[in-house]
Structure formats: C-alpha cells, structure tokens
Structure 1
C-alpha cells in the first residue's frame, strides 16, 4: 500500500464494538516484533519513544529525533503508523500543521494530538484546540491524505481522583464534539476506566473512541461491548520490557559475582 492507501485502511480499522488494538511501539525493532505478533497497524507512545532515547515525556525529545524515529519505522515496515505527537510542538495552528506535515513526509498516516498545555498548566481552551485541529486537517486535505487525527482530551488523565471522573464526562463529550466538527477522526480519553462512563462517552461521541489500557481498566472484550473502537497500551509495553531487561541483567551480574 502507498501512504494514502495506508491512511484509508487505518481509518477503516476503527469499528465500534470491534476495536483496533494497538500495542504501542517505540522504534523499528519493536515495530517488527509487534508486526510479527499479528498487528494490523502500529502506533508509537510518546513516553516510550522519549524514554528509549533518554528523554522525559512532554515534548522533551527533540522533534527532529522523533521524526527520525518515524522515518526509521516506516522505512522497514509496511503497516500504517500513527505517531503520538503530543501537542505537535507548537501552540500556533500554522506551526502545528507545519510540524505534522513533517511527520507525513516521514511516512506517518495519523497522530495522537492532545489538548493539555504541554509543559504548562491545564488544558487549552476549546476554541484554541479546535483551531489547531482545523489547521492540521486543512493541511492534510491539501496533501490529499485521509490523515487520522486522534484528538485526545486530558481531562481524565489530569484528575487522579477516579471518583471525580463522572463530573468530567459532559465536558469531555462537548470537547469531543467540537474536535469532530474541526476535522478530528478519533476521540482519545486516556485514564477513563469506569465501564459506565466509557459506555456513556461512546454513546455520545460522534467519533470512534480510544481507551488506554491501565491497571483497573476493563479488558478488550468488555471494552468492545461498551462501544470502544480503539484500544491502546501507552507506555505499558516499554515499562514491561525494561523491567524484564533489568531482571535479566541483574541475574547475569549476580551470577558473575
């Protein structure tokens, strides 16, 4: 498939009740392993890509390094690739679109795009986030690409008290509707794990809903019944692999005396 075909195929994999499962990767090697395990598409996690190169999350990895990683993955793998691009390294709509276009040139067919103020406090105002999404969509349309914008709201992620998540659902739904009208293709609500609340968001969202797996989250089959269209694993795979690596290394050094 060429890039345009990959973008269309990726969008088609988002089916309510039959979610696309994305076991997040961080480089070309993990892309190959996950592909061989049976993946239908690939997605990076920002935390993992940054950590694998010695950086913290929150756009601390230079954008050029992230683009280089994207290019390395797409050069050796034919599956559609979505890149976690955080806040697109720009609060300006035109700047965000320009940066996303660089990812497109590197072979990406989609992004995660979040509404929290990266490196700051709180979330961007809805109208400001809408303007950035619209600019990215218009750029992609000029390229003739069905580029997948997975619009992420961090309302739930920034509220650690799960008992307060119910009070955030209506605001989340309104943000999702605004993002859809601006040209987003998916709605990502990381850290939401309550089954009733997930079902409510899925019922009200005009976009396919993405849930991130975390401790306490329903399993994939349950999420499918709730109406979820996409399930991702975020930094979980990276953390699990690093723990295994450390355990193996510790055993080697212990045996060596």
Structure 2
C-alpha cells in the first residue's frame, strides 16, 4: 500500500464531504494543490483537449503516461478517469488496477460504458464481473487503492434512476469503494441515490443544470464532488474569447482579466520548495 492511497481512503471514510477537482496538466495540478484541496482526479476530456484531440481519441498509453506524470508532480493522492480501462473483459479490469497502482495512482474510476454508441452500456453481469475482478486485483496490488464504479446510463439517454441504482448496488456488492452516476442533475434523485447505497457517492458539478452548492450536496448525502472537464472547458473558453477578440475586433482588453505573473508563478515556486 502507499501513503497516498491510504490518505485517499481515509478521506472517503472521514464522513465529510470534499471536492476533488480535475486538473488536466502538471501546472493546474500544482495550482490546485497549493490552494488546499485534499486530492485530485484526472479528466479524460481535459487531457484530450490538451493534446488537441476530441474526447475518446486519446490512446491507453497516452492516458497512463499522463497519469504517471501527474501523480509524480504532486504530493496529493490522484485518482484517474480511466474510462472502461485497458479493455472490455474482467481480466482487463484487473490489469487496469495493476497498471494504475504501478503509475502511482491512489484510485481510479471504471465505467460501464462499452465505447460503442450503438450498444453503449455493458450488460449488468459483465459490468459486475469487471468490478469484482478489479476489486480482487486491488486486494493484491494495494488494499487501500480506491475503486470508483461508474454507471453511465444517464450520459447515454437512459434516465432510469431505478436501473442506475440497481447497477450501483451491484457494483457496491462486487467491491467498489465509491459509486458514481454522472448526468444526474436533480437534487431529489441524487438524495434517493445516496440513500440507496452504503458506500460514498461521487457527484460531478459543472455539467449543464448542475448548480448545487457543496452544502446542498452534502445535505443530500454526497461525500465526494468532482468537476469533470468543466474547469478545463472554462479555461479553454477564456482562451477562445481572447483569441476571438484579437481576431475579430483587433483589441486586447482580455489582458485586463489575465492573472499576473507574480501571482501565477507563486503557485509554482511554493510547489517546488
């Protein structure tokens, strides 16, 4: 086991709600660390944008290389958005945990999205076998490693809360440590989900319609709040607006909102002390 994974597990067991923001490179990871966050999570979409490709076009090798570099760049525990992992089979899910532990990660998420839009969600039996295999691998590689199981129904047009809860309950029994169903944007649904399982629930903020505060989510039973690619999209949005101003208007007023050199560099100086 590692100190980072132990700290990450204890963070989930504390009973307190915490925010786990999603940096997309070493610079943003170090800024978030200096701002006092307790853990970080990668974002597959943010990584893709930083590489100049669309989400889903980053290779497995590129993903793990990024995770390894990010984990090494911060003293905080890092959990990785590994999508469906190294493959479709339970054996590949087990291998995913081995690779993640070797990369220095404290946790990772595994989702039931198949990668095929025509049949987007794995059959429940296969999805459960994948989580069970991952949990068995975790017990061997690093018992404190935190596995987040994701049910992707809501992201792919199936807004059946009962079915989503059924999947998450099955993932919980299979050995998942954290449960996550991205796309649920109704607070009463979130509360129902949290009350239907015993493991910590992650909710993502930053998607359209997700406007709840940390306090509101905590009262609903949420224990971990991520932001997905929303911070990356916000940063890229500011960049695009600045570029449009220069290109279309020939002005440079965007610079009035730019962070100063001294403030920005202070984050990195502290991170390297």
TM-score, normalised to structure 2's length?
0.85
Deviations 1:26-60 (A, max 9, x none): 111111011112110000111111221122223x2
Q: Is the 8 A contact 1:176 1:206 kept in 2?
A: no
Q: Distance in 2 between matches of 1:136 and 1:173?
A: 20
C-alpha distance 104-144 of structure 1, shift in aligned 2 (>3 A): closer
Gaps of 5+ in 2: 253-273
Question: Within the alignment, does 1:216 sit opposite 2:214 as a pair?
Answer: no
Question: Within the alignment, does 1:83 sit opposite 2:75 as a pair?
Answer: no
* Partner SS for 2:19: strand
* Partner SS for 2:176: coil
Deviations 1:2-22 (A, max 9, x none): x62211221222268732201
Structure 1 stretch displaced more, 244-253 or 217-226: 244-253
Gaps of 5+ in 1: none
1:107 aligned residue (104, 107, 110):
104
Q: Is the 8 A contact 2:180 2:202 kept in 1?
A: yes
Q: Which has the higher contact order (CA 8 A, sep 6+)?
A: 1
Q: Distance in 1 between matches of 2:8 and 2:197?
A: 19
Compare CA radii of gyration and give the structure with the larger one.
2
Q: Distance in 2 between matches of 1:153 and 1:99?
A: 18
Partner of 1:55: 53
Once the two structures are superposed, the pairs formed by residues 62-73 of structure 1 within 5 Å of their partners are: 62-73=59-70
Once the two structures are superposed, the pairs formed by residues 115-194 of structure 1 within 5 Å of their partners are: 115-120=112-117, 121-159=119-157, 165=159, 168-194=160-186
Q: Distance in 2 between matches of 1:54 and 1:216?
A: 27
Question: Within the alignment, does 1:235 sit opposite 2:244 as a pair?
Answer: no
Aligned length: 247
Partner of 1:41: 39
Deviations 1:155-175 (A, max 9, x none): 11222xxxx84xx12211211
Q: Is the 8 A contact 2:98 2:141 kept in 1?
A: no
